[in-house]
Amino acid sequence: MATLLVSCDRGGNKDQASGDGQAVTEAQVVEHYAKLVSATYGDALNQARAMQQDIEAFLSGPTAELLEKARDSWTAARIPYLQTEVFRFYEGPIDDEDGPEGLLNAWPMDEAYIDYVEGDASSGVVNNATDYPEIDAKLVESLNEKDGEANISCGYHAIEFLLWGQDLSADGPGARPHTDYTTGENAERRSEYLRAVTGFLVAKLEEVEAEWAPGKENYRSGFLKMPSREAIEKIMTGMSMLSGFEMASERLNVAYDTKAQEDEHSCFSDTTHNDMIYDLTGIANVWSGSYGDLSGPGLGTLAGQIAPDLSTSLGAKIKASVEAAKAIPVPFDQAILGEDDAPGRRAILNTIETLEDQAELLVALGKEMGFGVPISEGEE
């Protein structure tokens, strides 16, 4: 975590000097944020392309070993993408009215919408050549959420299902055999679907990455031209909404209440723990201004100049939320089970409560800066 810079004046002068004598302005924080966003989306795109290559290698000659490599590549591709989710919730290029977020990461999904499931060997688009004679990216996109929110046809979790299949075991993830792509019923159509959905995901990531690339007339250039305080408000909205609404409420509390495997984020691969850890790591990145080898003035630096005590509390809470997520036992679908005093459920509840506190501290910081920060949908 970034060292928090403390000033003598609590009046919020954005040009005041920090403890090392260097002033950090809102404009500098916004400019560095744009660099961080670009770097993170760049990594997400590169890892998705690597996944596409490994999936293509598998489809060109399916073996158990190549399927496992494609699965590992999917898991690796998720790590940088999850760290981009903090860039949502303020109508940026990922989730404005034309944004592809719902095409990339929608869940939970009715897997029978895509392919066979236990008890129904003929379900899904893969097994319906009559209605869907040709499977391509255009079809995959057109079917997404066509007749309901659970009708997910594309994105990371569609790929996940096609690689792992249903998770029918308490001891591990799904166990789709590689023969689903060789001798299995509709193996060729299944291959066409996996190829199409993977290529479509890469194409959508390319669009978002281009909107944050430097030196172009794109979303990034407009973001840097807006008043710095307005940009800071957007940055904090992404952090607060991911903390309070998306993570604490939607992804953790729902699964905690229902104890249902279908309510965990990456249920086919049993990698939901990564979803928790790296989403919250994304928030920590924005706070510290650090991602990989990139470092610079993050929101924490600015907060330390405006409200030192609040900044210290919030920085500690952000660090604690990441550690709380890491403490949730793996796999997540077993951690949600049992009585409320079971270790897994205690760890999940602790993460929920830590995130709720984190969101409230972000609200308090927003007030110090003169604007409101939402933590749930519909708030202004």
Q: What is the DSSP string of 262-286?
A: GGSTTTTTT-HHHHHHHHHHHHHHH
Structural Rg of the chain based on CA atoms: 22
pLDDT band, residue 57 (cuts 50/70/90): very high
pLDDT at 14: 36
Burial-class residue 131 by CB neighbours within 10 Å (0-12, 13-18, 19+).
exposed
Q: How far apart are CA 374 and CA 29, in angstroms?
A: 21
pLDDT at 380: 52
User: Residue range 328-357: average pLDDT?
Assistant: 97
pLDDT at residue 12 above 90? no
Residues listed for the chain: 380
pLDDT at 3: 32
pLDDT at 2: 36
pLDDT at 167: 95
Average pLDDT, the chain: 93
pLDDT digits 0-9 by tens, 81-139? 999 999 999 999 999 999 999 999 999 899 999 999 999 999 999 999 999 999 999 99
pLDDT band, residue 378 (cuts 50/70/90): low
pLDDT at 238: 98
Quick one: angle between helices 26-60 and 156-164, nearest 10?
30
User: Residue range 170-191: average pLDDT?
Assistant: 96
Least reliable range by pLDDT among 70-74, 105-109, 206-210, 234-238: 105-109
pLDDT at residue 18 above 50? no
User: Residue range 274-292: average pLDDT?
Assistant: 98
User: Residue range 328-347: average pLDDT?
Assistant: 97
Residues 6+ apart with CB under 8 A from 42: 209
pLDDT at 7: 30
Do 44 and 209 meet the contact criterion of CB atoms below 8 Å apart? yes
pLDDT at 170: 87
pLDDT band, residue 261 (cuts 50/70/90): confident
pLDDT at 6: 30
pLDDT at residue 246 above 70? yes
